[in-house]
């Protein structure tokens, strides 16, 4: 048994210099002569066209004058008819909040039913708290379909810069 182990050890010692010589020759050959690629070429297949990423359409409508409120809401209705999955936020400040106050109406009647219809379709209505304070009004002056935000213009900026909303002003 001992003689077998000695023979195996002797064979390993002889093989080490041979392996080093082969590695050395291989390295030298690589440095001096370019090697042919032995990789197999894959069959060319027609690649599927790239899929377009689904991006949700997000739009902020800026209303700072209630005289355009009906037009803005008509635009939003048309927008949703064309793009039902669009996420729409209406941000109001200054005179634009007037149509979102309790009891607000024009010659066509109250605004609230039209606002409620759009809210039911997913539209969010934001009212500027700075404007309310400037008029000595509290949050209770706003119809229930709308929410109060600290600043209308800051909200527009946030929606555009941080959340990727497109800006529209009717």
pLDDT digits (tens, 9 = 90+) for 35-89: 555 555 556 667 666 777 778 999 999 999 999 999 999 999 999 999 999 999 9
Average pLDDT over residues 91-120: 98
Instruction: Give me the DSSP letters along 1-27.
Output: -HHHHHHHHHHHHHHHHHHHHHHHHHH
How far is residue 146's CA from residue 144's CA, in Å, rounded to a whole number? 5
How far is residue 97's CA from residue 66's CA, in Å, rounded to a whole number? 7
pLDDT of residue 40: 55
How far is residue 168's CA from residue 160's CA, in Å, rounded to a whole number? 11
Q: What is the pTM of this model?
A: 0.70
pLDDT of residue 12: 47
Residue 23 is encoded by which pair of tokens? 């590695």
Residue 159 is encoded by which pair of tokens? 């929606």
Q: What is the pLDDT of residues 57-70, one digit of tens each?
A: 999 999 999 999 99
Instruction: Give me the DSSP letters along 130-158.
Output: HHHHHTT--GGGB-TTEEEES-HHHHHHH
Q: For the chain, how big is the Rg over CA atoms in Å?
A: 36
């Amino acid at each position: 048994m001992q003689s077998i182990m000695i023979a195996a050890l002797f064979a390993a010692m002889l093989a080490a210099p041979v392996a080093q010589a082969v590695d050395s020759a291989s390295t030298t050959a690589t440095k001096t002569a370019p090697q042919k690629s032995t990789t197999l070429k894959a069959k060319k297949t027609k690649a599927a066209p790239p899929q377009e990423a689904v991006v949700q359409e997000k739009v902020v409508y800026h209303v700072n004058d209630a005289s355009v409120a009906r037009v803005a809401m008509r635009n939003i209705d048309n927008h949703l008819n064309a793009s039902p999955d669009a996420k729409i936020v209406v941000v109001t400040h200054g005179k634009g909040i007037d149509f979102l106050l309790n009891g607000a109406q024009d010659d066509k009647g109250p605004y609230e039913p039209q606002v409620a219809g759009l809210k039911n379709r997913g539209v969010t209505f934001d009212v500027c708290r700075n404007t309310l304070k400037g008029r000595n009004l509290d949050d209770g002056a706003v119809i229930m379909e709308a929410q109060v935000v600290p600043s209308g213009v800051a909200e527009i900026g946030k929606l555009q810069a941080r959340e990727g909303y497109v800006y529209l002003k009717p």
